[in-house]
Amino acid sequence: MSTNNAIVGEWIYLAQMDYDYALKSANTFHPAPVEIICFHCQQAAEKILKGYIAANGDTPVKTHDLVVLIKYCKQYSSDFDNYADYCYTLTAYISDTRYPPKLSLEESDMKQALNHARKILEFTKSKLAEMGFGTNS
Residue 115 covered by a domain: yes
Domains held by the chain: number: 1
Residue 53 covered by a domain: yes
Residue 135 covered by a domain: no
Residue 83 covered by a domain: yes
CATH code, domain carrying 116: 1.20.120.330
Domain that holds residue 100: 3-130
Residue 137 covered by a domain: no
Q: Which of 80, 73, 81, 97 is nearest to 22 (CA)?
A: 97
**What separation in angstroms does the CA of 50 have from each of 27, 70, 111?**
27, 9, 23
- Is 60 exceeded by the pLDDT of residue 1? no
Instruction: Give residue-wise pLDDT tens across range 42-74.
Output: 999 999 999 999 999 999 999 999 999 999 999
48 close to 12: Cβ distance less than 8 angstroms = yes
- Is 70 exceeded by the pLDDT of residue 2? no
Residue 24 covered by a domain: yes
137 pLDDT band, cuts 50/70/90, is very low
22 close to 117: Cβ distance less than 8 angstroms = yes
15 close to 137: Cβ distance less than 8 angstroms = no
Question: Mean pLDDT over residues 80-84, rounded?
Answer: 97
Residue 23 covered by a domain: yes
Question: Mean pLDDT over residues 124-131, rounded?
Answer: 96
> HSE on the CB side for 41, CA within 13 Å?
31
Instruction: Give residue-wise pLDDT tens across range 85-127.
Output: 999 999 999 987 777 777 788 999 999 999 999 999 999 999 9
Cα–Cα distance measured from residue 15 to residue 92, given in angstroms and rounded to the nearest whole number: 18
Q: Give the other-Cβ count within 10 Å of 79's Cβ.
A: 13
B/e letters for 10-34, b = 16+ CB within 10 Å, e = fewer, are ebbebbbebbebbbebbeeeeebbb
What is the rounded average pLDDT for all residues in the chain? 93
Q: What is the pLDDT of residue 99?
A: 75
Residue 136 covered by a domain: no
- Is 70 exceeded by the pLDDT of residue 135? no
